[in-house]
Amino acid sequence: MKTEAAAPGDIIKKLDLEGYIAEFKRFLARDKAVAMPGDINQHFRYIKALSDVQFPTPHPTPNLDRELALIGKQAVLGLEEIYAFVTIISYFNKLKALGLPEPLQSWIRQIEIPEAIEEIIGYFTQEGEINTQRDPELHQIEASLKRNKQEIKETLYKLAHSAKLREFLVDTQVHFNGGEETLLVRGGFNKVVKATVVARSEGGYFYIIPQSVSHLKERESTLLSSKEELIWRYCKDISATFHQWERFLRYINEAFDRFDHYQARVQFARAKEYEFVLPSRSKRIKLEDFAHPAIENPVPVTIDMDKQIMLITGVNAGGKTMLLKSLLSAVYMSKYLLPFKCDVARTEVGHYKHIEAVIDDPQSVKNDISTFAGRMKEFAALFEKRDAIVGVDEIELGTDSDEAASLFRVMLDELRKRGITFIVTTHHKRLASLMASDDDVELIAALYDEERRVPTYTFLQGSIGKSYAFETAQRYGVPVAIVNRAKKVYGEDKENLNELIERSTTLEREMRSKIAAIDAELKAAQRQKEKLLEEEEKLKEQHRKAIATLENRYNAATKKAREALKAKESTEGRRLLNEAHKRKSMQVKEAGLKAPEPLKEGDKVKYRSHKGELLAIRGKDATIEVDGLKMRVPLSALKKREETPKARIPQKPKKATHHVEKSGGAVSVKLLGMYADEAIDTVDKFLSDALVNGLSEVQIIHGTGSGVLAKLVTEYLKKHPKIQHFYRMPGNLGITVVEL
């Protein structure tokens, strides 16, 4: 979406935006058109990014188009003209140091300032003068000028307080006249002092420069000439450098104008608490709590225009024209990314190429043109435009309303086909009634307070408004008798029509009021529902945290139990495990779940696909008998087996086919220095001893080395059927911890 040249100044005047635009321009560093050339979407992103940070305000800077033209012609610029470029370049250096948000930061960093230009910046002080510290000759001249001025001041002070001149002095002050330091004396002064008369005062006195000061003045003039000559050499050299970097200076000048547009809009919005609305590609205009900037203490406008023609009817002085201007102003300000007051989250403004306002009376005695003829001329020009929004105030102005209604209906219909959107105000019902049945026409009624007999400056969509001409006349002082006689002349039928319109409007307002009340109740119910859902989420979160806390306590207790068992403190281990199981039961209970019945010795159990009997429980492990073979397995892997009791048939005890002799297994084994076969045999025997002795956790020390032993051990452990889990000890990769 591209912006175009600035809209004509008359549209600003017609929409009462002159004061608003003038106030906005005070935030610009230099005067320029309101429109920004380029991509409006990109401008919007930069403005929003700049709105999030604080930045220095640029100093007022003159337009430099003339100076750039002189640089192109290799002319010598003056010191002030050169300093204007220095001010712009120095400002961009400040912006680079800020750390702006994207996409501004990328754009500013792309501006690379040449070293030759950076060096020129160092020549200047903040006051725009050449820095005397960089040039000894200039420094000496400045010092001499300062001393000379002090001598002049002291000489004049002595004369002003001398006895010989006292009777001729008007006062003892040093007066500046024409840029010169002088004394104010009466006539006859030449008897006591030689001096040059500079001027005469209104009282007939003389401003004089004493001869004793003249030679000091001559010295000052000589020093100033030397200084100007030296500064001219600087200007000549800098102008030559500027000529070499003319393209860069043109670029930096345009970049400054662009940033000036952004910063002025952001500063203006902050000062007025306004919002930016990016125009949408649709032709809809939806305003929520919009306030026209020209109105003090306005009634906020909330209106939704999603049709191609809006027809506004109703009471005189009820805000019809201001509603028209508000809609067009919103389009204008949005089009040029100028901020305004509204509820930005619920406001939408479409984009239009042209904005036209047919508002003023076009009658002209000079051009011999009537009001209606002028209106026809303005409408004829609209047939040359496309993609425009047009506001027409008092559309039937200047001719018979019935004839005008038919004519304007046809013209509006034809112009609508050419992509033109209309906002029309009218007092006459015929045009409204002719267009009311059209789906592309939005009817708007300006409302009137019957009890207080004043306009409300509010609007009702979907209705035709009564003009309230009689009520308005009476409100402004027309006698009641005159108003009543006018009503009789007007006729009962038309008055009845107005009453029907009024009644329809009243019913519409009541209906909308009830709908608004229902909507409010629905919103309240929705808020209550959301509140309950939030409470439910909070309770779920508290429940989850409670379970997590109990789980942590359980894990801590089991960890302590393992530590006690490793230290062969079996009594303490059993106590800690019992405590852990108690806490686990509490966790299950608090989670609202039924705790499973704990297993005990003698229970019929199921381990994987095997059925067996629980012989003993030790910590987290259990000893079971499956088909005559005793096995040590994790207690958590067992499930209680419910079986129908059967008659027990005495059986002869089976003889064990093997005998295992307990050897008091160790909790760790070292494989360091072993060959592969030897290491695997050692690990196999070590794990068998550990299983027989009921150990739940052991360590295999294989070292790091080349990693061969570690790999062999890992492969062996993966295939072992009795190993629950194994892992490398944290921080020591040479030890593998095995859980049996």
Dist. CA 187–CA 566, nearest whole Å: 122
Q: Give pLDDT, residue 572.
A: 56
| Preceding peptide of 103 cis, ω within 30° | yes
- The tokens describing 217, both together, are 């003045």
Residue 441, beta-bridge partner list: 309
Run of H or E residues at 638: strand 638-640
What is the residue whose two structure tokens read 């300000």? 333
pTM, 2 dp: 0.60
Contact 391, 352 (CB under 8 A): no
Q: Are strands 388-392 and 420-425 parallel, antiparallel or unpaired?
A: parallel
- Exposed, middle or buried: residue 149 (CB in 10 Å: 0-12, 13-18, 19+)? middle
Dist. CA 213–CA 155, nearest whole Å: 7
Q: Give pLDDT, residue 466.
A: 56
Assign residue 381 a region: left if phi > 0, alpha if psi is -120 to 50, beta otherwise? alpha
Phi, psi of 124 (to 5 degrees): -110, 150
Q: Give pLDDT, residue 653.
A: 47
Residue 84, beta-bridge partner list: none
C-alpha to C-alpha distances, 334 to 44, 276, 539, 631, nearest whole angstrom: 11, 7, 47, 82
DSSP string, 223-249: HHHHHHHHHHHHHHHHHHHHHHTHHHH
Residues 6+ positions from 663 with CB-CB distance below 8 Å: 689, 692, 693
What is the residue whose two structure tokens read 């309101």? 34
Pick one of 1.20.1060.10, 2.30.30.30, 1.10.760.10, 2.70.70.10 as the CATH number of 596-643: 2.30.30.30
Dist. CA 163–CA 143, nearest whole Å: 33
DSSP assignment, residue 405? H
What is the residue whose two structure tokens read 């003339």? 66
The segment(s) of the chain belonging to CATH 3.30.1370.110 are: 664-740
Per-residue pLDDT tens digits for 88-132:
999 999 999 888 999 999 999 999 999 999 999 988 988 889 888
Is the domain 285-487 a CATH 2.30.30.30 member? no
C-alpha to C-alpha distances, 300 to 110, 291, 424, 449, 663, nearest whole angstrom: 44, 5, 20, 17, 94
What is the residue whose two structure tokens read 């609508």? 416
Q: Give pLDDT, residue 579.
A: 65
Q: Quote the Cα angle for 415-425-374, to 5°.
A: 65
The segment(s) of the chain belonging to CATH 3.40.50.300 are: 285-487
Q: Give pLDDT, residue 376.
A: 78
Architecture of domain 664-740: 2-Layer Sandwich (3.30)
**Exposure letters 84-98 (e unless 16+ CB within 10 A, then b):** bbbbbbbbbeebeee
Torsion of CA 64, 65, 66, 67, to 10 degrees: 50
Q: Say yes or no to pLDDT of 71 above 50.
A: yes
Per-residue pLDDT tens digits for 426-474:
876 667 777 776 778 888 877 766 566 566 777 777 666 555 555 555 6
Per-residue pLDDT tens digits for 641-696:
866 554 444 454 444 443 444 445 678 888 887 877 788 888 888 888 888 777 88
- The tokens describing 335, both together, are 């089009």
- The tokens describing 279, both together, are 């125009």
Q: How many residues does the chain have?
A: 740
Dist. CA 206–CA 183, nearest whole Å: 8
Nearest-CA neighbor of 315 among 449, 133, 130?
Answer: 449
Pick one of 3.30.360.10, 2.60.120.260, 3.40.50.300, 1.10.1420.10 as the CATH number of 133-233: 1.10.1420.10
The segment(s) of the chain belonging to CATH 1.10.1420.10 are: 133-233
Q: Say yes or no to pLDDT of 616 above 60.
A: yes
Contact 443, 303 (CB under 8 A): no
Dist. CA 351–CA 282, nearest whole Å: 7
Per-residue pLDDT tens digits for 73-86:
999 999 999 999 99
Residue 208, beta-bridge partner list: 183, 197
Contact 214, 203 (CB under 8 A): no
Residue 454, beta-bridge partner list: 449
Q: Give pLDDT, residue 534.
A: 86
The segment(s) of the chain belonging to CATH 2.30.30.30 are: 596-643
**Exposure letters 709-731 (e unless 16+ CB within 10 A, then b):** bbebbeebbeeeeebeebeeeee
Nearest-CA neighbor of 608 among 684, 721, 739?
Answer: 721
- The tokens describing 184, both together, are 């104010």
* H-helix segments, 200-319: 211-244, 246-272
Q: What is the mean pLDDT of the chain?
A: 81
What is the mean predicted confidence (pLDDT) over 402-418? 81
Torsion of CA 460, 465, 470, 474, to 10 degrees: 10
Q: Give pLDDT, residue 246.
A: 95
HEC secondary structure over 5-53: CCCCHHHHHHCCCHHHHHHHHCCCCCCCCCCCCCEHHHHHHHHHHHCCC
